[in-house]
Amino acid sequence: MTDDTDRRDGEASASEAMYRGMAALAADALISTDEMQRITAFNPGAERIFGYSAAEALGQPLDLLLPARFVASHRERVHAFAAGQGPMRLGGKRPRIVGRRKDGEEFPAEASISRLVLGGGTLLTVALRDISDQVEEERVQRLLAQAGELLAESLDQAGTLRRIAELAVPGIAEGCVIWLRSGERELRPAASWHVDPEKRALLSQLTPIHPSGEEGSLRVVTTGAPRLLPELSPEHLQALAGDDEHLRLLRAFDLRSWLSVPLGRGGVSFGAISLFSGPSGRRLTPRDLALAEALARPASMSLENARLYAEAQRATRARDEVLGVVAHDLRNLLASISLSAQVLLRTYPDTRPARTVLRVAQRMGRLVDDLLDLTKIEAGTLRLDRSARPASTLLGAAAEAALPLATQHEIRADAPESLPSVWADGDRILQVFANLVGNALKFTPAGGIVTLGARAEPARVRFWVEDTGPGIPEEHRPHIFERFWQGAPEGRGAGLGLTICRGIVLAHGGRMELEHAGPPGARFSFTLPTAA
Question: pLDDT tens-digit profile of 477-531?
Answer: 887 887 666 665 554 555 677 888 888 999 899 999 988 877 788 999 999 999 8
Average pLDDT (447-474) is: 91
SS3 234: helix
pLDDT on residue 94: 61
Structure confidence by residue, pLDDT tens digits, 73-84: 888 888 888 776
pLDDT on residue 88: 42
pLDDT on residue 119: 65
Average pLDDT (146-152) is: 75
286 lies in the same domain as 352: no
Bridge partner residues of 456 (DSSP): 461
Q: Which of 379, 404, 429 is the last residue of a domain?
A: 379
In this structure, of 79-83, 197-201, 262-266, 469-473, the range with the lowest mean pLDDT score is 79-83
Measured between alpha carbons, how far is 3 from 274 in angstroms, rounded to an integer?
A: 74
Q: Which of 96, 130, 164 is the last residue of a domain?
A: 130
Measured between alpha carbons, how far is 274 from 282 in angstroms, rounded to an integer?
A: 16
pLDDT tier at 3, thresholds 50, 70, 90: low
236 lies in the same domain as 173: yes
Average pLDDT (445-462) is: 92
pLDDT on residue 172: 87
507 lies in the same domain as 415: yes
Q: Which of 114, 130, 146 is the last residue of a domain?
A: 130
Greater confidence, 296 or 344?
296
209 lies in the same domain as 279: yes
Structure confidence by residue, pLDDT tens digits, 121-148: 778 888 999 988 888 788 778 877 877 7
pLDDT on residue 260: 93
Structure confidence by residue, pLDDT tens digits, 331-378: 777 778 878 878 877 887 777 777 777 777 777 777 777 777 777 777
SS3 204: coil
511 lies in the same domain as 410: yes
In this structure, of 19-23, 73-77, 261-265, 400-404, the range with the lowest mean pLDDT score is 19-23
CATH code of residue 392: 3.30.565.10
Structure confidence by residue, pLDDT tens digits, 42-62: 999 999 999 999 999 999 999
Average pLDDT (217-241) is: 86
pLDDT on residue 163: 86
Kindly list the strands in the beta sheet with 227-229, ordered across the sheet, starting from the edge strand earlier in the chain: 186-194, 175-183, 268-277, 257-265, 227-229
283 lies in the same domain as 341: no
SS3 256: coil
Average pLDDT (418-437) is: 90
Measured between alpha carbons, how far is 301 from 380 in angstroms, rounded to an integer?
A: 28
Cis omega (within 30 of 0) for bond into 519: yes
DSSP H helical ranges for 403-478: 426-443
Give the rounded percent of residues in the chain with a pLDDT score beyond 70.
88
Is the pLDDT at 21 greater than 60? The verdict is: no
Contact 398, 431 (CB under 8 A): no
Greater confidence, 220 or 237?
220
Choose among 56, 38, 35: nearest CA to 46: 56
Q: What rounded mean pLDDT belongs to the chain? A: 82
371 lies in the same domain as 394: no
In this structure, of 243-257, 383-397, 486-500, the range with the lowest mean pLDDT score is 486-500
pLDDT on residue 15: 46
CATH code of residue 16: 3.30.450.20
In this structure, of 198-202, 352-356, 397-401, 481-485, the range with the lowest mean pLDDT score is 481-485
Is the pLDDT at 151 greater than 70? The verdict is: yes
Choose among 192, 166, 169: nearest CA to 179: 192
51 lies in the same domain as 144: no
69 lies in the same domain as 106: yes
Give the rounded percent of residues in the chain with a pLDDT score beyond 90.
26
Is the pLDDT at 385 greater than 90? The verdict is: no
Choose among 243, 371, 220, 209: nearest CA to 296: 220
26 lies in the same domain as 41: yes
In this structure, of 296-305, 332-341, 449-458, the range with the lowest mean pLDDT score is 332-341
326 lies in the same domain as 403: no
Task: Determine the structural domain holding residue 482 and report its residue range.
Answer: 387-529
pLDDT on residue 274: 93
Specify the number of domains making up the chain.
Answer: 4
Is the pLDDT at 216 greater than 60? The verdict is: yes
pLDDT tier at 211, thresholds 50, 70, 90: low
251 lies in the same domain as 352: no
pLDDT tier at 24, thresholds 50, 70, 90: low
In this structure, of 147-151, 216-220, 447-451, the range with the lowest mean pLDDT score is 147-151
pLDDT on residue 90: 43
Q: What is the DSSP string of 280-324?
A: TSPPP-HHHHHHHHHHHHHHHHHHHHHHHHHHHHHHHHHHHHHHH
Average pLDDT (459-463) is: 94
Is the pLDDT at 310 greater than 60? The verdict is: yes
pLDDT on residue 141: 80
Is the pLDDT at 475 greater than 70? The verdict is: yes
Contacts of 409 (CB under 8 A, 6+ apart): 441, 444, 446, 447, 448, 449, 450
Contacts of 185 (CB under 8 A, 6+ apart): 210, 218
Average pLDDT (264-283) is: 86
